[in-house]
Amino acid sequence: MFKFLLSFLSEGSTLTAKTMKGILWRFISFGSNKVLSFISTIILARLLVPEDFGLVAIGHLVINSIHLLGGWGLADAFINKRKHERQYYTALFYSSIFISSVVFLLVFFLAPLFSNFFSNPSSLVIIRVMAVTLVIKSFVHPAIALIKKRMQFKRASVLGFINHLTTFIVVVSLAFFGFGVWSLVIGGIFAALFDFFVFFLFFPVKPMLTVPFRYIKDLFVFGKYMFFSTIFLFLLNEGDDAFVGKILGTVSLGVYTLAFHLANFAVFNVTFVVSQVVLPAYASIQDNKRRLKAAYFKVFRYIALVAFPASFGIFILAPELVPIVYSPKWNAMVYPLMILCVYGLSRSLIATTGEVFKAVGKPKLLRRTTFIQLIVLAAIIYPLTKLFGLTGTCLALTLAALSVHWLNFYYVARVLGASFGDFMKVLKAPLISSLVMLAAIHFGKKVLPVESVFVLILFIILGALVYFASVRLIDRNIFKDAKGLTKSLLK
């Protein structure tokens, strides 16, 4: 996964080393969080019911939507700035607190409207309680942006793991003792408070006392394109949740939420971790198209190597994975999960383009593609949902993504001076190897039915072995120098 870092930049060893360490520590932190989240989800799926997940999904939908709309892309604008760090950090700090406070008040007083929209009175108090995290996180987000800008991930990763572990214990314990949906709500607040105290105790970043209005204005000017992109991305990423909750109900929303997160668990999370580190690295070489192109395709190559087998593997094993791991009460998520695997794969690959657009100062390209995707989704989601229910919703989401994602690659190719052949060269090994793996698992299931956890694990191991063997046959250079790279990362 990290081989691209050996030649990530042809010059500038300091940036290369920071990027190597940054991605390693981000994977440790974010990866541990997702593993614990995956385990807790399995446990909670057996202790709770789909409606509990649906209620929390409504809360997250409201909170995340308002939070994203209030963000204005200021953090990305701050990372992109090369000079006057303290002034821009202070501008981000005060802007974050002000915006989040206003948003909290709006959410609190408008909560009855959201509750009525979903025809679920139980969601009212949940929305209001969860809104508290907006104010708490407003103090944390500027510090996180500064850490990304400086690429100082080690200490944050260690403390992040402690947060993830303690939150995992809190949530599962509360669910075990019968707190139901409140185990999820309290867990979210606990995690936010943990980060609040950690960043003020261990990262004592001090903003200026005076409010730098000129720098605030500058951040907003850069972030205006990201603001509109954020609106479109919210409608794409959260609008489907609102649609399912409104049209199909809270139970279906709970099923959809679990299916969506499982389909995106491995593929998109890998992309997310890498993007947190490569954005400041891309920004620092934005004026050198040759180096930027080389860096992008090395990142894209190794994301594809993870995204393809993860998506194909979940797709072929979904009918057995759901009842065995989550219990038969979740069987309604099998077909939505299979369709969302295709969406997750496309989403993970295309997410790499957004960081390039931001780094070269062209976030409007991201806004354009997300707007087109939103229009397509709006046109097909209702009829497909009416015809096929939740499966139709997932189909609409996937078709809308596939209809426009090619445009992202076209734009990034134009920015970097790349060609169609450059992309196909990267995708050849993971695509062919994943198809071979898919065939091996398919025929293997005919010989040995998957009826237990042991057999399921056996097929996962089989798929991994077949995939890596196939990749090695197609491209022997992929695993070259992996041992030496691992040693350098652990130093």
Burial of 8 (0-12, 13-18, 19+ CB in 10 A): buried
Q: Which tokens in the block code for residue 437?
A: 């793996």
What is the rounded CA–CA span in Å between residue 253 and residue 261?
A: 12
The letter for the amino acid at 83 is K
What angle in degrees, to the nearest 10, is found between the helix axes of 123-130 and 181-202?
A: 10
For residue 116, report the phi and psi dihedrals to the nearest 5 degrees: -70, -35
Average pLDDT over the chain, rounded to an integer: 79
What is the rounded CA–CA span in Å between residue 298 and residue 301?
A: 5
pLDDT at 459: 95
pLDDT at 247 over 80: yes
pLDDT at 463: 95
What is the rounded CA–CA span in Å between residue 96 and residue 101?
A: 8
Enter the pTM of the model: 0.70
More confident site: 385 or 214: 385
Q: Which tokens in the block code for residue 105?
A: 């008040």
Chain centroid to Cα 294, Å, comes to 24
Lowest mean pLDDT among 284-293, 327-336, 438-447: 284-293
- Residue 264 CA neighbour count, 13 Å, CB half: 21
More confident site: 24 or 407: 407
pLDDT in tens, 99-151: 888 888 888 888 898 889 888 888 899 999 998 988 888 888 787 777 776 66
pLDDT at 229 over 70: no
CA-closest candidate to residue 343, choices 404, 395, 300, 383: 395
CB 308 within 8 A of CB 430: yes
Name the band, by pLDDT with cuts 50, 70 and 90, for residue 170.
Answer: very high
For residue 347, report the phi and psi dihedrals to the nearest 5 degrees: -65, -40
Q: Which tokens in the block code for residue 55?
A: 């209620």
**Which of the residue ranges 86-90, 352-356, 461-465 has the most confident prediction, judged by mean pLDDT?**
461-465
What is the rounded CA–CA span in Å between residue 179 and residue 185?
A: 10
Name the band, by pLDDT with cuts 50, 70 and 90, for residue 226.
Answer: low
What is the rounded CA–CA span in Å between residue 126 and residue 306?
A: 36
pLDDT in tens, 416-438: 888 888 888 889 999 999 999 99
What is the rounded CA–CA span in Å between residue 114 and residue 121?
A: 9
Where are the domains positioned within the chain? 3-490
pLDDT at 6: 35
pLDDT at 263 over 70: yes
pLDDT at 276 over 80: no
More confident site: 215 or 154: 215
Residues in the chain: 491
Q: Which tokens in the block code for residue 304?
A: 């594809």
Q: DSSP readout, 448-474?
A: S---SHHHHHHHHHHHHHHHHHHHHHH
